[in-house]
Amino acid sequence: MSGELSPIDKAKFVAAKRAVEYVEDGMRVGMGTGSTAAWMVRCLGEMVREEGLNITAVPTSTRTAELARSVGIKVVSLDEAKWLDVTIDGADEYDGNLNLIKGGGGALLQEKIVATASDQMVVIADISKQVETLGAFPLPVEVIPFGWQTSKALIEETLIGLDVLGRTTSLRMNGDAAFLTDEGNYILDLHLHRIGNARQMSLVLNQIPGVVENGLFVDICDVVVIGYGDGKVEVRDINNGTVEESRLDFVESDNLFADLED
C-alpha cells in the first residue's frame, strides 16, 4: 500500500505520525479538517484500536466527525469537552512566525474556535505550505448569506487601504450553487497574493458587518510538524524557539490506508 502513495501523501503521513506523539492517554483532542488532518485521525484511530489509547475528540467538521467515529474514536462537542489539551490540524499556508491561512476546506470557523479553546495547537503540513509572506493561497472569509454581496463590496473597499498585492474576491461555489459551511454560511475567497500585515488584516475584516470569521490564524499555532516525502520530519516550536529533525520509517498498514478518500 505504501508504494502507491505520492511523495506529498507520504509527507502528510509522516507529519501526522509525528504529530500524534503530542497526544497522551486521557486527553481531549481537537481534530482539524482536510486531507492532512485525515491522516492524523487515522493514526489516532489506529492507536485507539491497537494500543488502547483513551481520548475524547472534538472534530471541526461533520466529515472529520464521521471519519473519527469510523476509526473508533469517541467524539463529543466542544460544549461537552469545554476545554482541550491539544488541537492538531493542517494549514493552507504558514510563515516563519507560524501564522497561518486556513479554510481551504471550508471549516475555518469551527477550526479557529477549537484551536483557541486548546492549550496547544499543532499544525501538520508538507514543505509546500511554507511561505515567506502569507497570501499566495486565497484567504477565505466566512460571511452570512443575508446581504453577502454588500459584505463583499465592503471587503473590497476595505482592501484598498491595506497592504496587499491583489484585491479580487470571489464567492466559493459548489457546482452551480454557493458553497455552504457547516453553519450554513458562504465563503468569499480573497485573492490577495501577499498580505503585508496579517494581524491588521484579520482585525479589520472581522469588523465588517456580515463577516463571521476569516482564515488568518495569528498567534494561535504553537508547533508546526513538517513532513517530507523521504520520511524526514521537522518540528518547529515557536514558544521554545527550537527546530528538531528526525526520520520516520514508512510502515504499511492496511487498516490505516483503507478507504482513505482524501
Q: pLDDT by residue (tens digit) across 111-159?
A: 999 999 999 999 999 999 999 999 999 999 999 999 999 999 999 999 9
Catalytic residue among 46, 93, 111, 142: 111
Asked whether residue 178 is assigned to any structural domain, the reply reads yes
- Say whether 156 is catalytic: no
Rounded-to-integer distance, Cα 245 and Cα 66, Å: 33
Domain that residue 187 falls in: 139-214
| 92 in the same domain as 25 | yes
70 is an annotated ligand-binding site residue: no
Same domain, 196 and 238: no
DSSP string of 196-252, one letter each residue = S-HHHHHHHHTTSTTEEEESEE-S---EEEEE-TTSEEEEEETTTTEEEEEE-----
Domain assignment present for 261: no
Average confidence score pLDDT of the chain: 94
Residues 6+ apart with CB under 8 A from 2: 10, 250, 251, 252, 257
Whether 226 and 120 map to the same domain: the answer is yes
35 labeled binding residue: yes
Q: Indicate if 200 and 224 belong to the same structural domain.
A: no
202 is in an annotated binding site: no
Q: Is the pLDDT of residue 49 over 80?
A: yes
Domain identity same for 200 and 227:
no
The verdict on 204 and 226 lying in the same domain is: no
Predicted local distance difference test score (pLDDT) of residue 4: 76
Question: Is residue 262 domain-resident?
Answer: no
How many structural domains are present in the chain? 2
pLDDT band at 200 (very low <50, low <70, confident <90, very high): very high
105 is in an annotated binding site: yes
Query: Is 87 annotated for ligand binding?
Result: no
C-alpha cell at 149: 454581496
Q: pLDDT tens across 64-112, in order? A: 999 999 999 999 999 999 999 999 999 999 999 999 999 999 999 999 9
> What does pTM read for this prediction?
0.93
